[in-house]
């Protein structure tokens, strides 16, 4: 096992522990509910009791959660009658299956009371949560995002960054961006970003060593990501054209082209077949073009103010990328350093990021509804952070204070989200009299999200999350409740200390090896 692999495993396990011990083990919004219920029904092998064959559509269970189209296609398979992708649910099934059959968590494992949360309705909701879904939520985000952080370390190494630089980038991504916040969720962006980064890693491997195996693996990972979330197409398309540009001057052009395109075609066809089997529509009559309407950059299906959206999605107090992820402010000088290091890949990364920004800026709901914004730009954060490595190695210690300040702010922003239920206690309930949604009382605010929530710091979800943590903190850490403070703290400190020491020893062994090698070389000379 080489050094990079050892560090990859150590980083992945370390972040899995951090994310698991900071998990709330429950869904944040209704977006997660669809996939969860579908996964549960597949495991149970029985449809929801409310399902009626020939009548129930994909929104039958939660029609109030689907906006703006209240009606979906009629379902032909009861266990798959949900507004969620099959592949997204497939990634959840192993976790639900394990708890369903082995009963690691039961209804009696944890019982919340008014001493835990002041809202009695919230206490009831938490106690009524399906134990297998709790188990899945506890480990799902930590599993896939810890792998994503480890993969990002390998990507950094593939760009020939030093180990220390690559580790710093990995820790910034894992703790200083909204990756930390989303580690306790089961959104489809959680597994899709892992598959996208894994695909990008093997794409870079192919660029360095043009093996057909690397291109096949890259395409396979990418299409898996696409099957969970359609916006991965904005990574696939630039990579595809870049791939063609690269292989034109190589041998075995046709074979290499097939190795990359065949997994994409087969994966898409497989996914399309399953989706058409789920509903009352024939495969040949399915609207394949609708899957690629996303390539229109959202203008046709958007309807929002593009210039307002592009400024808002990047800089607005309530949803701006550079507000929620301050470490990305470094992009205003890092891409220059990155360009001097690798011009072609700089253009590639910028293209990927530009496609995401242009597409989602044109959406009327570019703010991401009530998610911890900017939800829609989540996938491009690693591509915006990667150039920072070039600046670190070029500018050295001069920029470290800036990095630690911005990274520290990012950690704080995510930490206040992690330790409490922001969705419930900051946003409140639609039509309610508490939280940011209460601003819609007596006025017409689309989806109960009023403009001042997006455009002012006073009502920004981020600022209100900080205020709530400082003034009325209600801790929402599942393992803290399960073990109690007397066991939780010693356990997390012991585990993280051991894993940090293992990582240190791996790095130390490399230092010793290099020192010995240098001394032996000097003696021979």
Per-residue 3-state assignment (H helix, E strand, C coil) for 183-212: CCCCCCHHHHHHHHHHHHHHHHHHHHCCCH
Please state, in angstroms and rounded to a whole number, the distance separating the CA atoms of residues 334 and 399. 11
Query: Residue 122 has what pLDDT?
Result: 96
Please state, in angstroms and rounded to a whole number, the distance separating the CA atoms of residues 198 and 212. 16
Same domain, 372 and 498: no
Q: Is residue 347 part of a domain?
A: yes
Confidence of residue 525 (pLDDT cuts 50, 70, 90): very low
Q: Is residue 233 part of a domain?
A: yes
**Spatial contact of 98 and 135, defined as CB atoms under 8 Å apart:** yes
Section 263-269 average pLDDT: 95
Same domain, 360 and 236: yes
Q: Is residue 139 over pLDDT 50?
A: yes
Stated pTM of the model: 0.93
Please state, in angstroms and rounded to a whole number, the distance separating the CA atoms of residues 68 and 154. 41
Q: What are the angstrom distances between the C-alpha of 214 and each of 126, 156, 206, 252, 413?
A: 45, 17, 5, 14, 38
Q: What is the pLDDT of residues 425-435, one digit of tens each?
A: 999 988 889 99
Which region, left, alpha or beta, applies to residue 54 given φ > 0 means left and ψ of -120 to 50 means alpha?
A: left
Q: Is residue 454 part of a domain?
A: no
**Spatial contact of 152 and 204, defined as CB atoms under 8 Å apart:** no
Q: Which long-range contacts (CB under 8 A, 24 or more apart) does 218-223 make?
A: 218/260, 219/259, 219/260, 219/261, 219/262, 219/263, 219/264, 220/263, 220/267, 221/195, 221/196, 222/195, 222/196, 222/264, 223/263, 223/264, 223/266, 223/267, 223/268
Q: Is residue 425 part of a domain?
A: no
Percent of the chain with pLDDT over 90: 77
Q: What is the pLDDT of residues 472-501, one digit of tens each?
A: 999 999 999 999 999 999 999 999 999 999
Same domain, 91 and 193: yes
Query: Residue 290 has what pLDDT?
Result: 47
Same domain, 273 and 399: yes
For helices 388-395 and 331-341, what crossing angle results, to 10°? 80
Same domain, 363 and 391: yes
Q: Is residue 305 part of a domain?
A: yes
Same domain, 317 and 279: yes
Same domain, 296 and 353: yes
Q: What is the pLDDT of residues 12-31, one digit of tens each?
A: 999 999 999 999 999 988 88
Same domain, 50 and 95: no
Neighbour count for residue 219 (Cβ, 10 Å) = 27
**Spatial contact of 220 and 267, defined as CB atoms under 8 Å apart:** yes
Please state, in angstroms and rounded to a whole number, the distance separating the CA atoms of residues 454 and 70. 25
Same domain, 206 and 155: yes
Could you say which of 51, 84, 117 is where a domain stops?
A: 84
Q: Is residue 212 part of a domain?
A: yes
Give the residue carrying structure tokens 């009963």: 103
Same domain, 62 and 201: no
Q: Please indicate whether residue 60 or residue 193 has the higher confidence score (pLDDT).
A: 193
Give SS3 for 74: strand
Q: How far apart are the first and last CA of the chain?
A: 30
| Half-sphere exposure at residue 244, Cβ-oriented, CA atoms within 13 angstroms | 6
**Which tokens hold the place of 116?**
């835990």
Q: Give the number of domains in the chain.
A: 3
Q: Is residue 15 part of a domain?
A: yes
Please tell me the least confidently modeled range out of 26-40, 71-85, 121-135, 297-311: 297-311
Please state, in angstroms and rounded to a whole number, the distance separating the CA atoms of residues 287 and 296. 16
Section 442-449 average pLDDT: 88
Confidence of residue 142 (pLDDT cuts 50, 70, 90): very high
Q: Is residue 479 part of a domain?
A: no
Same domain, 362 and 493: no
Residue 124's contacts (CB-CB under 8 Å, 6 or more residues apart) are none
Could you say which of 84, 108, 124 is where a domain stops?
A: 84
Question: Which residues span the domain enclosing 98?
Answer: 3-26+85-418
Q: What is the pLDDT of residues 145-168, one digit of tens each?
A: 999 999 999 999 999 999 999 999
Distance of CA 88 to the CA centre of its chain: 12
**Spatial contact of 184 and 141, defined as CB atoms under 8 Å apart:** yes
Q: Is residue 516 over pLDDT 90?
A: no
Confidence of residue 281 (pLDDT cuts 50, 70, 90): low
**Spatial contact of 291 and 276, defined as CB atoms under 8 Å apart:** no
Confidence of residue 61 (pLDDT cuts 50, 70, 90): confident
Same domain, 68 and 207: no
Could you say which of 418, 434, 454 is where a domain stops?
A: 418
Query: Residue 67 has what pLDDT?
Result: 59
Q: Is residue 115 over pLDDT 90?
A: yes
**Which tokens hold the place of 303?**
């309807």
**Spatial contact of 197 and 349, defined as CB atoms under 8 Å apart:** no
Residue 411's contacts (CB-CB under 8 Å, 6 or more residues apart) are 175, 176, 180
Nearest Cα residue to 352 out of 504, 491, 208, 240: 240
Please state, in angstroms and rounded to a whole number, the distance separating the CA atoms of residues 510 and 169. 19
**Which tokens hold the place of 348?**
């590639």
Q: Is residue 272 over pLDDT 60?
A: yes
């Amino acid at each position: 096992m080489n050094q990079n692999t050892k560090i990859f495993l150590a980083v992945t396990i370390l972040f899995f522990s951090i994310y698991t011990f900071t998990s709330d083990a429950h869904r944040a919004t209704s977006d997660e509910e669809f996939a969860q219920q579908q996964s549960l029904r597949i495991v149970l092998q029985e449809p929801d009791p409310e399902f009626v064959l020939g009548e129930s559509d994909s929104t039958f269970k939660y029609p109030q959660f689907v906006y703006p189209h209240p009606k979906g296609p009629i379902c032909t398979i009861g266990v798959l009658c949900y507004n969620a992708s099959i592949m997204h649910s497939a990634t959840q099934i192993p976790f639900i299956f394990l708890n369903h059959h082995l009963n690691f968590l039961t209804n009696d494992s944890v019982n919340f009371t008014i001493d835990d949360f002041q809202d009695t309705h919230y206490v009831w909701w938490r106690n009524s949560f399906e134990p297998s879904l709790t188990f899945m939520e506890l480990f799902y985000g930590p599993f896939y995002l810890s792998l994503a952080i480890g993969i990002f370390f390998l990507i950094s190494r593939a760009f020939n960054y030093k180990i220390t630089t690559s580790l710093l980038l990995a820790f910034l991504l894992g703790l200083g961006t909204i990756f930390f916040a989303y580690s306790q969720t089961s959104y489809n962006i959680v597994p899709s970003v892992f598959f996208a980064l894994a695909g990008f890693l093997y794409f870079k491997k192919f660029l360095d060593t043009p093996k057909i195996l690397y291109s096949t693996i890259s395409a396979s990972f990418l299409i898996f990501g696409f099957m969970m979330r359609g916006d991965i197409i904005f990574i696939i398309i630039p990579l595809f054209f870049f791939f063609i540009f690269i292989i034109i001057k190589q041998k075995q052009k046709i074979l290499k082209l097939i190795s990359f395109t065949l997994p994409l075609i087969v994966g898409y066809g497989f996914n399309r077949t399953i989706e058409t089997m789920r509903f009352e529509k024939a495969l040949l009559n399915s609207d394949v073009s609708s899957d690629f309407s996303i390539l229109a950059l959202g203008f046709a299906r958007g309807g929002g103010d593009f210039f307002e959206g592009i400024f808002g999605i990047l800089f607005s107090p309530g949803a701006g990328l550079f507000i929620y992820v301050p470490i990305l402010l470094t992009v205003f000088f890092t891409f220059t350093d990155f360009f001097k290091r690798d011009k072609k890949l700089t253009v590639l990364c910028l293209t990927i990021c530009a496609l995401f920004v242009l597409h989602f800026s044109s959406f009327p709901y570019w703010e991401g509804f009530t998610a911890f914004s900017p939800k829609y730009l989540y996938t491009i954060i690693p591509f915006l952070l990667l150039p920072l490595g070039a600046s670190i190695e070029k500018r050295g210690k001069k920029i470290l204070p800036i990095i630690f300040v911005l990274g520290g702010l990012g950690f704080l922003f995510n930490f206040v989200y992690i330790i409490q239920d922001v969705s419930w206690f900051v946003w409140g309930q639609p039509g309610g009299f508490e939280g940011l949604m209460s601003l819609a009382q007596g006025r017409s605010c689309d989806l109960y999200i009023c403009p001042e929530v997006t455009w002012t710091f006073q009502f920004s979800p981020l600022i209100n999350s900080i205020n709530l943590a400082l003034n009325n903190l209600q801790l929402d850490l599942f393992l803290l409740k399960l073990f109690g403070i007397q066991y939780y703290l010693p356990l997390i400190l012991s585990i993280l200390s051991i894993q940090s020491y293992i990582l240190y020893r791996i790095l130390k062994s490399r230092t010793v090896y290099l020192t010995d090698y240098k001394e032996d070389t000097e003696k021979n000379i």
